[in-house]
Structure 1
């Protein structure tokens, strides 16, 4: 009770400086001046049941829960035969470093499920293609906070919080045939950010793994950030890795642009300098590029908290392609395809898990960022909303998003422990036909 009261007092103390600010989306977000205080305003929607309601999707689409009562679903992978693999689990939490870390941990816990993480992969199968997944099977268990998934040449790769592992995979199998083989160890000490996002290059030669920072803004010292806040490129054949891009505070989801082979990421930016700083972002990732953390944000805006400063790296900081908004906590990204219909044919879907440190919540939805000529173009479009109810409580929190080539978007929801499927509504399509 004492901790709860302390959190409430601290949040109240800073409410006056946490007024709603500019909408920050697109290539040129408006960046206000930094605001610093004892604590940010930590307002997080409390969990609420869906009841008979569903998320809201655009006209012409329908949404259905294809799996319920999961154990913290995070990311999904659509296999060649149409089966869906779901990673379930949660990683270790870094020990509190400061009193406000302890308080923040309490506040964040209010917005999470009480279900323990499964540390497993679950397979879903819709054998007849009618949208109902009649088979649900534990595919692999006894994993360590699995998150990223990739399938390359008969190998199913799983990014646990501590290691990249490989299972042999044969199309159609419903469970693993043996123990995994470790391909590469991943940084896991402290694990302030534990998720290990992953995607494979178009030619299957490399895996890209996103590794988040071990702090908000280096409060544990730079030694704790070795091999952190970056994307690794891992050779599939040898397991050898190298730093592909750095200065990315927490790259939480990765995807490859079809045809172009370009790596893209969504990144969760730093906290504690105001409700409208810093915008989380979607960006193409340049080989050898540096994206600012911890010394700068959104290009070359200096963060004075990072000491000692590094002017050379500030000058080299790459400006991201597209702002998603401050603290939306983007945790999923995937490129669309024509199967999603003309209006959603070119662009990316982004799962926004939602803020915990704004008086007015941001995120808590799935958006579509339209592309033109291979680049983001225009305002994001709400694709799945209603995760916040009318009272401001959270019925769900989107994480991974995956486009199913059969014509659907698969969304993992780690608060309601549901996997959603959003597809074209045949009844509405027929009604619209001449």
Structure 2
């Protein structure tokens, strides 16, 4: 409560800078602020009582934070073979990016209603050669796209475009809105735009809410239009908040990030990477993750809802819950090291509503020969080892013709440049949330009957069957030893939450699950440790 009170004045300031009450409505305005503050106090009280997971917001998101070269060099780390520059630290609320043919960088700043231009680093000092406002007076601009000679800007309520002169980095015509009247109320008002290899203009629009059935069919979707704004189509649905998307250079498939819902615990549901198909339905609000029925809108609902869940398309990859994947980009340049060519970089903005912060990094997604996706950390250090101090929150990623990678940060008001071919860190490549491969000794399995009975009680008490009717526990004996299965409960893969089991409880649950597999398989298992 003291922490909230300390930030109350900042909360009022943030609201006032947006609304700016006149003398006529000042009294009503301050009453509204007081009501909002009471609501926040009640929310914090609920958290303290354990009714909902803790709100763990980086307050710099509201108050503004700064970074500097010293902080960047001390805290941020990269995959081997890259060098990091603080390209600009004077770009508040830096969100989405686009690179011009001349190598300049465009940056959207929704809260300021403008798009700025960072001049390419031609003097080689590691920083933009300057910056200026390119266009302002916009309605919360977010996504940016350069197509032919046009600059497209996704505002919160539509799309506009203007001719853009790449040679001098200036708008060359009147700005005209070609898509209008899109809803921008509620939680997820940002729009992201991208030009597909098929010549269509794609636009994502998030939901109005945490979880609900939308009245506007355009919310929680990816739409597409012809480049002049005509021929509107809803391309895919059931996408709660797909802030970033890009097309694979290997097969042309469209992939999009998606942010999972809140208030189901620290570790559920997962955030997602989806392979987007035309007319595909991706589950929200009826299901989370791999068709797990939502407790509010899916569980126990009518047959029509159950059919929707069954027909939904599962994620291609699951991020940890509340990591908030935003921008994503496939690396295409031949200048990239072989290990990173054609991989997708994803900006994990970081959690705000789990007890221990998580995310706050850029990860690289690799597709193996079977099409399975593996993640590893590519840029990290935005979240300190204390899991509390935040130095930045990555938002979007772009790559220029020379293979330079740019990452925006709306928390620190910064843009970073990552150059290939120059060593910056001796840190090894770090798998993102993975465990070492299993190499179990050849010993017979020894089930402890008392432990298994205790594990059965835990399984029933935690109502594990609720999820595992939909996600069967299969082939545990081929993946884990008893000890490794017990250790798994410390870092479970979403959607399974981390229940904070004691060592005794973890061991008991492992023995119960292995015992069930023996009974179900009707065979004697080898290759396991007790």
Q: What range is the shorter-chain TM-score in? A: 0.7 to 0.9
Counterpart-to-counterpart distance in 2, 1:389 and 1:222: 38
Among 86, 103, 112, the alignment partner of 1:65 is 86
Q: Is residue 154–residue 169 contact of structure 1 (8 Å, CA) maintained in 2?
A: yes
Larger radius of gyration: 2
Counterpart position of 1:249: 240
> Which structure has more strand as a fraction of its residues?
1
Among 101, 104, 110, the alignment partner of 1:80 is 101
Q: Is residue 184–residue 240 contact of structure 1 (8 Å, CA) maintained in 2?
A: no
Size of the alignment, in residue pairs? 374
Counterpart position of 1:156: 151
Aligned positions of 1:286-365 closer than 5 A? 286-306=277-297, 309=302, 310-337=305-332, 338-365=334-361
SS of the counterpart of 2:309? helix
Q: Is residue 78–residue 424 contact of structure 2 (8 Å, CA) maintained in 1?
A: no
Return the TM-score normalized by structure 1: 0.81
Q: Is residue 272–residue 317 contact of structure 2 (8 Å, CA) maintained in 1?
A: yes
Counterpart-to-counterpart distance in 2, 1:377 and 1:247: 22
Counterpart-to-counterpart distance in 2, 1:231 and 1:186: 16
Q: Which runs of 5+ in 1 are unaligned?
A: 15-37, 90-116, 430-434
SS of the counterpart of 1:340? coil
Counterpart position of 1:234: 225
Q: Is residue 200–residue 227 contact of structure 2 (8 Å, CA) maintained in 1?
A: yes
Counterpart position of 1:141: 136
Deviation at 1:132, TM superposition (A): 3.4
Counterpart position of 2:55: 42
Q: Deviations over 1:74-113 (max 9, x none)?
A: 0101122211111112xxxxxxxxxxxxxxxxxxxxxxxx
Deviation at 1:178, TM superposition (A): 3.5
Q: Give the alignment's Cα RMSD to 1 decimal.
A: 2.2
Deviation at 1:71, TM superposition (A): 2.5
Counterpart position of 1:198: 193
Counterpart position of 1:371: 367
Q: Deviations over 1:272-304 (max 9, x none)?
A: 111111111112100110000111122322113
Among 40, 45, 70, the alignment partner of 1:9 is 45
Q: Deviations over 1:224-248 (max 9, x none)?
A: x431111001111452211100001
Counterpart-to-counterpart distance in 1, 2:195 and 2:390: 33
Counterpart-to-counterpart distance in 1, 2:294 and 2:78: 38
Q: Is residue 187–residue 207 contact of structure 2 (8 Å, CA) maintained in 1?
A: yes
Deviation at 1:193, TM superposition (A): 0.6
> Which structure has more helix as a fraction of its residues?
2
- Alpha carbons of structure 1 residues 127 and 419: separation in structure 2 relative to 1, 3 Å: closer
Counterpart-to-counterpart distance in 2, 1:317 and 1:295: 9
Deviation at 1:161, TM superposition (A): 0.3
Once the two structures are overlaid, the 10-residue window that deviates more, 311-320 or 284-293, is 311-320
SS of the counterpart of 1:169? strand
Q: Deviations over 1:339-390 (max 9, x none)?
A: 2212211310000111011111111111111123594532x11111111234
Q: Is residue 347–residue 376 contact of structure 1 (8 Å, CA) maintained in 2?
A: no
Deviation at 1:189, TM superposition (A): 4.5
- Alpha carbons of structure 1 residues 327 and 357: separation in structure 2 relative to 1, 3 Å: same
Deviation at 1:5, TM superposition (A): 5.0
Q: Is residue 210–residue 230 contact of structure 1 (8 Å, CA) maintained in 2?
A: yes
Deviation at 1:10, TM superposition (A): 2.1
- Alpha carbons of structure 1 residues 370 and 59: separation in structure 2 relative to 1, 3 Å: same
SS of the counterpart of 1:283? strand
Counterpart-to-counterpart distance in 2, 1:351 and 1:49: 19
Deviation at 1:428, TM superposition (A): 6.7
Is 1:175–2:170 an aligned residue pair? yes
Counterpart position of 1:212: 206
SS of the counterpart of 1:265? strand
- Alpha carbons of structure 1 residues 279 and 240: separation in structure 2 relative to 1, 3 Å: same
- Alpha carbons of structure 1 residues 244 and 186: separation in structure 2 relative to 1, 3 Å: farther
Counterpart-to-counterpart distance in 2, 1:396 and 1:211: 25
Counterpart-to-counterpart distance in 2, 1:58 and 1:426: 11
Return the TM-score normalized by structure 2: 0.67
SS of the counterpart of 1:74? coil
Higher RCO, 1 vs 2 (CA within 8 Å, ≥6 residues apart): 1
Deviation at 1:173, TM superposition (A): 2.9
Counterpart-to-counterpart distance in 2, 1:153 and 1:346: 24
Q: Is residue 146–residue 159 contact of structure 1 (8 Å, CA) maintained in 2?
A: yes
Deviation at 1:222, TM superposition (A): 3.6
Counterpart-to-counterpart distance in 2, 1:339 and 1:129: 21
Q: Deviations over 1:288-329 (max 9, x none)?
A: 100001111223221131176512211211001001111001
Q: Which runs of 5+ in 2 are unaligned?
A: 6-36, 426-530
